[in-house]
Structure 1
Amino acid sequence: MSRATPARAAGDPPRRARWVLLLLLAAALVGVVARPTWVVAEGTSALAGTVTVTVTGAQAAPQTGAAALVLLAAAGALGLVGRVGRWVVAAVAAAAGVLVVVGAAAVVSDPARAASGAVAEATGVASGAAGATTTAWPLVAVVVGALVVLLAAALARTRGAWDQRSRRHERPTGPSGGTATPGAADERADWDALTRGDDPS
């Protein structure tokens, strides 16, 4: 039994590193799906007539970019926190996944509204978008967001020695488990020397 605990603690950093890597991968996927064209719309300009405008995911659903940044931050935090912190990170990651799903679903349900800003910028007329259609990327984003939520749920439910953190910056403890006071060992040795009749100076 005494040898099993160190083995589990030694196996904890690889477990933590795997979850950090998965969150980084999730952030990368969200960032990737936000780059292609989500909506193709048409607008009317007095100078150019009918103008075809392509709208990326980052333009149609800006929250996808924010979700990618949140997942990056969550991955960084996961490498430092303990058990309770892991639950907080999982909740934040789940919220990021929900943001992606909600943003992509809104684009699918009303592509004209999602493209209205980009069309107005391209035509100079705030009259909305006509004939707006979506590509397959918003649906891909919905799937990616749902996978992020599932990943966050799995992170919250995982087991392991999450309280085993680095002790590099912790103060050393004495034999009784308390914090050792600097110089205490030297003072004790001086008193022992005086008791024996020696001059510690």
Structure 2
Amino acid sequence: MNKNRLEAFSDGVLAIIITIMILEIKVPEDNSFESLKPLIPVVLSFVLSFVYVGIYWNNHHQMFQVVKKVSGSILWSNLFLLFWLSLIPFATSWIGSQNFAAVPMCVYGYLLLMCAISYTLLQNKIIKLEDKDSTLYKAVENDKKGKISLACYISAIPLAFVSPWISGLLYIAVALIWVIPDSRIEKQINKN
């Protein structure tokens, strides 16, 4: 099965996710700088989520550069990832509208955790189809960044009830870890 349709569909879904997020930012009815103040949490939540969606888009693109073929299980795994990513606008709106309160921050962390797990599942399905000699396996076999990310999400979820700001800092830390494009796949391509 050709991978081009999967990539095009995924790109379209991610573009819609970003569009939905920006539409959640409502224009103030007043024309003063003071009227922008209540939007600060909404804009900050949008920026963080925009970065996360961008990270997933970038890494998804990198990963599919080396994929030769896709199977039905890869298609379903990709849809599973897109399902969790499609919930980001909801969680983004909730944390922004509730000024980063504990329960919304906990739910946001759970959503980020499920995105990470579903991305890993997709990656593993691709490796299973292409075997352990594949470029992808060689690039991600020692996935420290992925393990650190999962540990941060798992910690941040209950920590939201101690301090939502601690959770927020962990979410930002994970984003900073991944914001520089992952070069492991490119390095493997250049070795071949």
TM beyond 0.5: no
Q: TM-score, normalised by structure 1?
A: 0.40
User: In proportion to residue count, which structure has more strand?
Assistant: 1
Q: Between Structure 1 and Structure 2, whose CA radius of gyration is higher? A: 1
